[in-house]
Amino acid sequence: AHSGSIGLSYNSMSNLMRFYELIDEYEREEKIILYLSELDYNKIEHFQRWLLQNRRYSMNYCGLILRLFKTVCKDAQKKGFKVHDYVQQITVFRQRKKDRIINILSLEEVEKIRRLEGLPDNLLNAQRWLLIGINIGQRVSDLLALNSDIIRPAEGGLYIDLIQKKTDRLVTIGVGQDYVIDILMNHFPYPISNMLFNMHIKTLCKMAGISQMVKGFKMCSKTRRKKVGIYPKCSLMASHDLRRSFATNYFGNIPTPVLMKITGHSKESTFLRYIGNQQSKDSYADIFINK
C-alpha cells in the first residue's frame, strides 16, 4: 500500500497474482497441497529449491516470492487462521552485492547515440524516447506514459510534472538540455511498447558502436532464464538501464537527496546500492584527496 493511502499498488497486486499462480503451479507439479498449519522448515525449503532449481528463478525473484509468502501467512494469522510457527523464520534473501552487475550508458555513449543520423522512423522514435529517458531518470512505465499535457515552461527549460506509478508520488523534473527540450516541444515521440523499445535500444547502441565486451546477464533461449556471461554491451542494454544511467551519471554532481527525489528512492542506502557502491566510496574518498 502507498503511504497515507488505502489499498495495494498496481505492482503489488501484480506480484500477488503471480505469487498465487506460482503456488498453484507448484502444488500441481509436485502433487503437494500447502496447508498453512503445516508450513514447517522442510515444506518451505522444498518450495525454495523448486523456485531456484526447477524454475531457475534469480535469487532476487526468489527472495520476492518468499517475502510475499511470509506476508500472506502473517496476514492469514492476523485473521485467525492457524499458521505454523516456522513462517516467522522464513528467510528473505537477495542477490549478494558482490554478484550484482551494473551496466550503464555513459554520457559519451549517450552522445554517440544522439549523433546517429538517417535513422528510419521507428528507430528515430526510439532514439527520442531514449534521449528523454536518459535525462529524466524515471522508470520505463512512467517514461513511456509521458504526454505533452504534463510539460510546462520554466525559465531556461521545461518542467515535467508526473505521478510515479510505483510510488504514487508527484515529482517535478527539470529539463535543461537543449536537444531534449527540442524533442519535447517539437518532436514528441509517439507511443511504443516496452518490448519494442528494448529491441530498438539494442539496435541503436550497436549502430553507435557501443559493442565492447562486458560482463552481464542475458536471457538463455533454452532455459528462458538470465545467464551471466561476457557479451557485447549493446546486447545487454534495455529500458530499465536508462534510469540507472541517469542516477549514476549525475551522482556526485547533483546532491544525492535531489537525485533521490527525481528517481523515487526513499532511502539513501537503496539509492547507493542501485547505482553501485563503488561510486559512493570513491566520492567519499575524493573529499580527502582533494582537500
Which DSSP state fits 189?
A: P
Cα(58)–Cα(238) distance, rounded to whole angstroms? 18
148-180 in b/e burial notation, b at 16+ Cβ within 10 A? Answer: eeebeeeeeebebebebbebeeebebebeeeeb
Of 21-30, 134-143, 187-196, 226-235, the poorest mean pLDDT is in 226-235
pLDDT value for 291: 53
Distance between first and last Cα of the chain = 45
More confident residue, 290 or 169: 169
Asked if pLDDT for residue 4 goes beyond 60, the answer is no
Query: Cβ–Cβ contacts within 10 Å for residue 104, how many?
Result: 21
Helices (H) and strands (E) in the chain, counts: 12, 5
pLDDT in tens, 115-149: 999 999 999 999 999 999 999 999 999 999 999 99
Confidence tier at 98 by pLDDT (50, 70, 90): very low
Of residues 47 and 217, which shows the higher confidence score? 47
Q: How do strand 213-219 and strand 170-175 relate by DSSP bridges?
A: unpaired
The pLDDT of residue 285 is: 57
For 53, 171, 186, 201, 220, the CA distances from 226, given in Å and listed in that order, are: 13, 33, 39, 19, 6
Q: Quick check: 65 and 19 in contact, CB under 8 A? A: yes
To the nearest whole number, what is the mean pLDDT of the chain? 86
Question: Per-residue pLDDT tens for 15-43?
Answer: 888 899 999 999 999 999 999 999 999 99
Burial of 291 (0-12, 13-18, 19+ CB in 10 A): exposed
d(CA 148, CA 237): 27
Residue 283: per-residue pLDDT: 53
pLDDT tens string 257-275: 888 888 888 788 778 877 8
